[in-house]
Amino acid sequence: MCGVAGLLESPGTTVDEAALRAMADALVHRGPDAGGVWRGQGAHGHVGLAHRRLSILDHKGGAQPMRAADAKVTVVFNGQLYDHLALRRDLEKRGRRFVSDHSDTETLVNAVAEWGAAACVGLTGMFAFGAVDEERGQLVLARDPLGKKPLYLATPAFFDGAPRLAFASELAALERLPRARRAVDVRALARYFAFDFVPDPDCIYQGVFKVPPGTVITLPLHDPAAWRAPLARAECYRPLSFSRVKPAAQRADRVVELRRALSAAVDKRLVADVPVGVFLSGGIDSSLVAALAVQSKRSVDTFCIAFHDRSFDESGWARRVAAHLGTHHHEQLLDEHALLEVLPRLGAHLSEPFADHSVLPTFLLSRFARERVTVALGGDGGDELFLGYPTFQAEALRPRLFDALAGPLGPLADGARALAGLLPVSHGDFSLDFKVQRTLDGVAEARPLRRHQRFLTGATNARLRALLSPAAREALGPEDVLTPLDELEADAARAGARDRFDVLQLGYLRTYLAAGVLQKVDRASMAVSLEVRAPLLDAAVVDLALALPSSDKLSRPATTKAILKEVATGLLPDDVIHRKKKGFGMPVAAWLCGPLQPLVRELLSPAALAADGLLEPAVVTRLVDDHLARRANHRKVLWQLLLWRLWRQRSVQAP
């Protein structure tokens, strides 16, 4: 993986090389092996690119920024193109000249030279790139269809209206530029509390956007007026679709199709000029990836981390899978202090406020694996593609329970919520009172994506607005914070959604996966210069998974990942395949009352919040007091608040 950046100043001026190098320096953790800058000449002297490289393929021939051998196109590229050799052969037939042995970056720069922005349609892999096409007079920015790699775009509004455009893999690079405002976008802040992250295309800073997944943006190099609204020029080159492929008619044949697609996806991602390993949690997703890797490659290194607290330790399952597969297994035992020690340091790599607590163990696992390998395969995407979350099981029960409680039996729902409030408050991980209250909280919500957001974060428009200070609420205006969920339901209809599970699946892919899980893995792994690849998110696997009927993925009685478990049969032990799902859980509720309490008291004090001016001190103080007195379990929102304040400190103090 790499770090990319670019800067366009007002036409007729000269781009500052020192500014480009400052942007590259902010991304050095993403690419410690090499770096470089490029500045345009003559009429293009106002344009520059910067890059930091983590060498994975073609160590000698892959230096960036890279210029096409026979065209005026220069590119900075973050990612891997898995089918680049086939694309290269096509380009060679068209007369394009190559000088490297097998650089996928050179394939990309020639593809842009040949087809311009339309080149994105033929790319397969994970990527974010910026290309200066002098012949067409364009800047081309693009991100892969699922959003595995990040790409931020700063408009003139971020620079106090100055005619400047900039892009980068992380906000830290944009913060290094002169006149960077760093003014918080209140709408994005409210949505952070709704989702645990800032969903695409929003950004926590005013005047900055994230290039949406599967989108290419083409901007003129010499028209600063067009730089003010770049999303108006965005095109979705590969939208998600439930009908892009037609799976076999018989279930048994669909199992064979899926196994074949998964095996091919793993094979592609084992190709590298550096050591490759596999993250192994002992869950079905990572275990299946490891099993297919063993089939393709005799010697496989697997990595997991173990914890003293058995309530969220999965190392025993990982050891069981490793022994079954015969991998070279590496395990590191960590305690609570190791997790909490990295919390403040990790905040510097998160770019935006981010409240998924599993980023802590993901970072520690990445750091441990990086001691031996440069690339790791993971199991990300299985839950979203094959309906693996408990929320999908709750959804399957809704025709019997939720519709009744939301309709004529509505008063019973109110009574059930009142009884749930009498349950003893527990600060255990996903305790009974927490799960019951969160489930009942969404009973009356008819729209599926809003219902599931209530399950996940308890988000309602009223609750989100209550967290904000009066000044912030005024800046937000009357807008419903959860509007993006309604837009995603419309997107699902356009994608050919056949039932409510299709709607939910698209929503999870576009929010929880793209802006949550994948960005968590990117930030945690790139902080230690490790590339993580996701075979389950291969384009062919995604197309097939979306085309499968929901009954293949969630079968009666609410068996999650049903077809994926059939694929795994014979490759993994039965008890591993059918064990209860467990994520990277952390005892957050207990931490807030224990070792994190001094930090909570400091960062969430009324004085600190009043000085910041964005949150309502009285509301936050009540949440803190009730949680610490064990009158309620507010772990979710308090963790969001704590991570917000840690990010806010970093933002204010950043150079």
Statement: residue 414 has pLDDT above 60: no
Cα distance between residue 468 and residue 194, in whole Å = 12
Query: Do 314 and 368 lie in a common domain?
Result: yes
Closest CA relative to residue 650, chosen from 217, 270, 352, 283:
352
Q: What percent of the chain has pLDDT over 90?
A: 76
Instruction: Return the higher-pLDDT residue of 348 and 300.
Output: 300
Label each residue of 136-149 as H, E or C: CCEEEEEECCCCCC
Tell me the sheet residues that pair with 49: 6, 38
Residue 398 has pLDDT above 90, yes or no: no
Domain contains 421: no
Question: Tens of pLDDT along 355-386?
Answer: 999 999 999 999 999 999 999 999 999 999 99
* Same domain membership, residue 173 and residue 43: yes
Gap between the terminal Cα atoms of the chain: 24
- Alpha carbon 420 to its chain centroid, in Å, reads 33
| Choice between 207 and 479, residue whose per-residue pLDDT is larger | 207
Q: Can you give the CATH number for the domain in which 74 is found?
A: 3.60.20.10
- 329 or 343: whose pLDDT is higher? 329
Candidates 73, 77, 75; CA nearest to 55 is 77
If you write DSSP's letter for every residue of 242-272 in order, what string do you get?
A: SSSS---SSHHHHHHHHHHHHHHHHHHHT--
Instruction: Name every residue whose Cβ is closer than 8 Å to that of residue 463 and which is 6 or more positions away in sequence.
Output: none
Q: Is the pLDDT of residue 440 over 80?
A: no
The total number of structural domains that make up the chain: 3
- What is the rounded distance in angstroms from the CA atom of residue 641 to the CA atom of residue 599? 11
563 shares a domain with 632: no
145 and 92 together in one domain: yes
Within a domain: residue 407? no
From the list 99, 86, 121, the residue with the least C-alpha distance to 268 is 86
Please give the pLDDT value at position 409: 45
Say which range, 13-27, 115-129, 428-442, 465-479, has the weakest mean pLDDT: 428-442
Which tokens hold the place of 23? 């942007």
- Give the chain's radius of gyration (CA, Å): 24
Residue the block writes with tokens 């994506």: 449
| Any domain includes 413 | no
Res. 63: pLDDT tops 50: yes
| Tokens 């790319």, located at residue | 123
pLDDT at 420 over 60: no
**Per-residue b/e over 93-117, b at no fewer than 16 CB within 10 Å?**
eeebebebebbbbbbbbbbbbbebb
Q: What is the pLDDT of residues 274-286, one digit of tens each?
A: 899 999 999 999 9
As a whole-number percent, the residues of the chain with pLDDT over 70 amount to 91
Average pLDDT over residues 544-568: 93
Using a CB cutoff of 8 Å and minimum separation of 24, what contacts does 412-415 make? 413/440, 413/443, 413/444
What DSSP designation does 90 have? H
pLDDT of residue 436: 55
Residue 161 and residue 310 in one domain: no
Largest CA distance in the chain: 74
What residues contact residue 414 under an 8 Å CB cut-off, 6+ apart? Answer: none
Three-state helix/strand/coil letters over 34-54? EEEEEECCHHHCCEEEEEEEC
pLDDT of residue 102: 82
Domain boundary among the residues 236, 264, 295 is at: 236
Q: 273 and 363 share a domain?
A: yes
**Same domain membership, residue 598 and residue 573:** no
- Does the structure show a pLDDT above 90 at 190? yes
| Mean pLDDT, rounded, for 614-634 | 94
In a domain, 504, yes or no: no
pLDDT of residue 350: 86
Q: Kindly tell me the sign of the dihedral angle through the C-alpha atoms of 507, 509, 515, 517.
A: positive
**Mean pLDDT throughout 233-245?**
97
Instruction: Pick the last residue of a domain from 194, 213, 236.
Output: 236
Which among 219, 67, 210 is positioned nearest to 139, based on CA atoms?
219
Supply the range of the domain harboring residue 86: 2-236
Q: CA separation (Å) from 330 to 301, 447, 527, 534?
A: 7, 45, 21, 20
Peptide bond into 11 cis (omega under 30): no
Q: pLDDT-derived band of residue 135, with 50, 70 and 90 as boundaries? A: very high
The reply to whether 448 falls in a domain is no
Number of residues assigned to the chain:
655
- Do 119 and 226 sit in the same domain of this protein? yes
The predicted structure's pLDDT at residue 419: 47
Which residue bears the tokens 């290269």? Answer: 88
pLDDT at position 423: 43
Residue 382 and residue 257 in one domain: yes
User: What's the CA gap between 50 and 167, in Å, rounded?
Assistant: 10
- Indicate if 94 and 159 belong to the same structural domain: yes
Q: Is 487 exposed, middle or buried (0-12, 13-18, 19+ CB in 10 A)?
A: exposed
- Residue spans of alpha helices (H) in 570-616: 574-577, 588-593, 597-603, 606-612
Q: In what order do the strands lie in the sheet with 47-53?
A: 34-39, 47-53, 2-8, 165-168, 152-154, 208-210
CATH number of the domain that residue 321 is part of: 3.40.50.620
Would you say residue 188 lies in a domain? yes
| pLDDT, averaged across the chain | 90
pLDDT > 60? residue 265: yes
pLDDT of 164 above 90: yes
Provide mean pLDDT across the span 330-354.
85
Q: Domain end: 207, 236, 265, which one?
A: 236
Bridge partners of 376?
277, 532
Q: Is there a single domain that holds both residue 187 and residue 297?
A: no
pLDDT value of residue 340: 83
- Residue 35 forms beta bridges with which residues? 52
Mean pLDDT across the stretch 343-353? 83
Q: Is the pLDDT of residue 300 over 60?
A: yes
Residues 23 and 78 in one domain: yes
Residue 65 belongs to a domain:
yes
Residue 399 lies in a domain: no
Cα 527 to Cα 349: distance, rounded to the nearest angstrom: 6
What is 299-351 written as a DSSP string? Answer: --EEEEEEES-GGG--HHHHHHHHHHHT-EEEEEEE-HHHHHHHHHHHGGG-S
How would DSSP label each residue in 153-181? EE-GGGGTT-S-EEEESSHHHHHTSTT--
Q: What is the pLDDT of residue 411?
A: 52
